[in-house]
Amino acid sequence: EPEVTQTPSHQVTQMGQEVILRCVPISNHLYFYWYRQILGQKVEFLVSFYNNEISEKSEIFDDQFSVERPDGSNFTLKIRSTKLEDSAMYFCASSRQGRAETQYFGPGTRLLVL
Amino acid sequence: KQEVTQIPAALSVPEGENLVLNCSFTDSAIYNLQWFRQDPGKGLTSLLLIQSSQREQTSGRLNASLDKSSGRSTLYIAASQPGDSATYLCAVEGGGADGLTFGKGTHLIIQP
C-alpha cells in the first residue's frame, strides 16, 4: 500500500542552523501538508501546498519557514535559522484532491534544536 | 477560531469491552472530520473520514458518528483488544481554520 515517507527520522541541530526536512508524498496525490507536534501538545497545521505554490499557511509558518517541491517526488520543509522552540515532531501529509479528502501522514521527523 | 476538545483524556479498560471516545468542535462549518490513531513516537494512521454531509462511517470494529449541528463526534470501538492501545486523535477540516485542527487526543489502554 502506498505511504508517505519522511527523512531523516531524527535530526539534532544547533540553534541558528538551517535544517531541511524531506518528504515523499504518495505518488498520485496533489495536495501536500506539513504539521508539527511539540512534545505533549496538539498536532498543529503549518502549511498546505498545491500546484507548486502555497495554498494556505498558519500563523506559525513565518518567514523562517519555506516549502519546496524540488522535483516530481520530493516535498521539503526548510527552517532557515532554527530556534529552541522549533523542537518538535514534524509530519508531512498528502491527499489526493485536497479538501474533504483523507490526509495520509508520514512517520514524522523528530527535530531537536540545542 | 476552531477548537477541538476530546474527552476523556485517558481511558483504561479491560479487553473485550465496547467503548466510546468523544470529540467536540466549536465551529460547525466543517468540510469533514477525521479520526486518527497515533502510536508512541510514531506517525498518524487515518482510521475514518466522515464528510460533513454524512452521519457515520464504519470500518471493521470502528464506528464514527458525526452530529455537525451540535459540533460532536464519537468513535465507538467494539470488542476492544490490547492492540487497540494507542492515542486516538480527532481532527476537523474547515470551520474558519486552515488545514486540519486537532484535538489533544484520548490515550487508550486496553488491559489484557
**Could you count the other beta carbons within 10 Å of the beta carbon of residue A73?**
11
**Amino acid B82: pLDDT:** 96
Residue A104 amino acid letter? Y
E strands present in chain B: 4-7, 10-14, 19-25, 30-38, 44-51, 56-59, 62-67, 72-77, 86-94, 100-102, 106-111
**Amino acid A97: pLDDT:** 84
Residue B9 has pLDDT above 90, yes or no: yes
Of B44, B49, B51, which has the smallest distance from its Cβ to A105's Cβ? B44
Number of A–B residue contacts, CB under 8 Å = 61
**Amino acid A69: pLDDT:** 92
E strands present in chain A: 5-7, 10-13, 19-24, 31-37, 43-50, 53-57, 65-68, 75-79, 88-95, 104-105, 109-113
**Amino acid B85: pLDDT:** 97
The answer to whether the Cβ–Cβ distance between A100 and B46 falls below 8 Å is no
Task: Give A29-56 pLDDT, tens digit per residue.
Answer: 999 999 999 998 999 999 999 989 999 9
* B19 and B104 Cβ atoms separated by less than 8 Å: no
**Amino acid A64: pLDDT:** 96
Q: Which residues between 8 and 37 in chain B have a beta carbon less than 8 angstroms from any beta carbon of chain A?
A: 31-32, 34, 36
Low-confidence residues in chain A, pLDDT < 50: none
**Amino acid A100: pLDDT:** 75
In this prediction, residues B83-105 reach a mean pLDDT of: 91
Under DSSP, the state recorded for B69 is: T
**Amino acid A83: pLDDT:** 96
In this prediction, residues B29-54 reach a mean pLDDT of: 92
**Amino acid B86: pLDDT:** 97
**Amino acid B63: pLDDT:** 97
**Amino acid A70: pLDDT:** 86
**Amino acid B94: pLDDT:** 85
What grid cell was written down for A114? 540545542
Substitution target in A46, A105, A111 with the highest count of B β-carbons within 10 Å is A105
**Amino acid B74: pLDDT:** 97
**Amino acid A44: pLDDT:** 96
Reported as a pLDDT band with limits 50, 70 and 90, residue B81 is very high
Nearest CA in chain A to B97: A58
The answer to whether the Cβ–Cβ distance between A44 and B49 falls below 8 Å is no
CA–CA dist A64, B86 (Å, integer): 33
In this prediction, residues B56-72 reach a mean pLDDT of: 96
In this prediction, residues B33-57 reach a mean pLDDT of: 93
Query: What mean pLDDT value characterizes chain B?
Result: 94
**Amino acid B95: pLDDT:** 74
